[in-house]
Amino acid sequence: MDHAAPRARDWSLLPLDVLSSIFIRIGAVDVLMGAGLVCRSWLEAAKLPEVWRAVDMDKHEVVFTKCNVVLRAMAKAAVDRADGQLRSFAGKLFVTNELIKYIVERSPSLTSLRLVSCHVHYLASVMQESPPMELRSLELDDTYLTVKDLTSVVESCPLLEVLRVRNCVQEIDLLVVSSMDDAAPLVSEPPARDWSLLPLDVLSLIFPRVGAVDVLMGAGLACRSWLEAAKLLELWRAVDMDKHQVVFWKDDDVLCAMAKAAVDRSDGQLRSFAGKLFVTDELMKSPSLTTLRLVSCRDLFLGRVIQESSLLELRSLELYDISLTVGDLTVVLECCPLLEVLWVRNCFRIDEEDEHALPAKFSRIKTLTLL
Local confidence band at 113 (pLDDT 50, 70, 90 cut-offs): very high
The answer to whether domain 53-178 and domain 237-370 are alike in fold is: yes
pLDDT at 369: 81
Q: Which of 41-45, 53-57, 188-192, 217-221 has the lowest mean pLDDT?
A: 188-192
Which position has the higher pLDDT, 250 or 187? Answer: 250
Would you tell me how many other CB atoms lie within 10 Å of the CB of residue 188?
A: 6
| Dist CA 336 CA 331 (whole Å) | 8
pLDDT at 174: 40
Which position has the higher pLDDT, 292 or 61? Answer: 292
The CA distances from residue 18 to 93, 180, 193, 268, in Å, are 33, 37, 8, 32
pLDDT tens-digit profile of 136-145? 998 888 777 7
> In the predicted model, is pLDDT for residue 176 greater than 80?
no
Which position has the higher pLDDT, 174 or 151? Answer: 151
**For 100-105, which contacts have Cβ atoms below 8 Å and span 24 or more sequence positions?**
100/126, 101/126, 101/129, 101/130, 102/76, 103/75, 103/79, 104/130, 104/131, 104/132, 105/130
Which position has the higher pLDDT, 195 or 304? Answer: 304
> In the predicted model, is pLDDT for residue 19 greater than 70?
yes
Which position has the higher pLDDT, 77 or 298? Answer: 77
Q: φ, ψ for residue 238 (rounded to 5)? A: -130, 125
Domain positions in the chain: 53-178, 237-370
> In the predicted model, is pLDDT for residue 75 greater than 80?
yes
CA atoms within 13 A on the CB side of 51: 28
Does residue 362 contact residue 368 with C-beta atoms inside 8 Å? yes
In the chain the first and final C-alpha atoms are separated, in Å, by 48
> In the predicted model, is pLDDT for residue 348 greater than 80?
no
pLDDT at 103: 92
pLDDT at 170: 45
Does residue 264 contact residue 248 with C-beta atoms inside 8 Å? no
Q: Which of 38-42, 80-84, 111-115 has the lowest mean pLDDT?
A: 38-42
Residues 6+ apart with CB under 8 A from 220: 207, 226, 227, 229, 230
CATH superfamily placement of domain 53-178: Ribonuclease Inhibitor (3.80.10.10)
Q: What class, spelled out in words, does domain 237-370 have in CATH? A: alpha beta
Mean per-residue pLDDT of the chain: 77
pLDDT at 349: 59
Which position has the higher pLDDT, 367 or 1? Answer: 367
Work out the percent of the chain whose per-residue pLDDT is above 70.
Answer: 80
**Mean pLDDT, residues 20-46:** 73
Task: Select, from the ranges 242-251, 320-329, 345-354, the one with the highest average predicted confidence (pLDDT).
Answer: 320-329
Does residue 287 contact residue 312 with C-beta atoms inside 8 Å? yes
pLDDT at 1: 47
Torsion of CA 32, 122, 127, 55, to 10 degrees: 20
pLDDT tens-digit profile of 275-316? 888 887 777 777 788 898 888 877 777 778 777 777 788 899
Task: Select, from the ranges 78-87, 111-120, 304-313, the one with the highest average predicted confidence (pLDDT).
Answer: 78-87
Strands 162-166 and 238-241 come out as unpaired
**Mean pLDDT, residues 209-213:** 78
**Mean pLDDT, residues 115-119:** 81
Work out the percent of the chain whose per-residue pLDDT is above 90.
Answer: 6
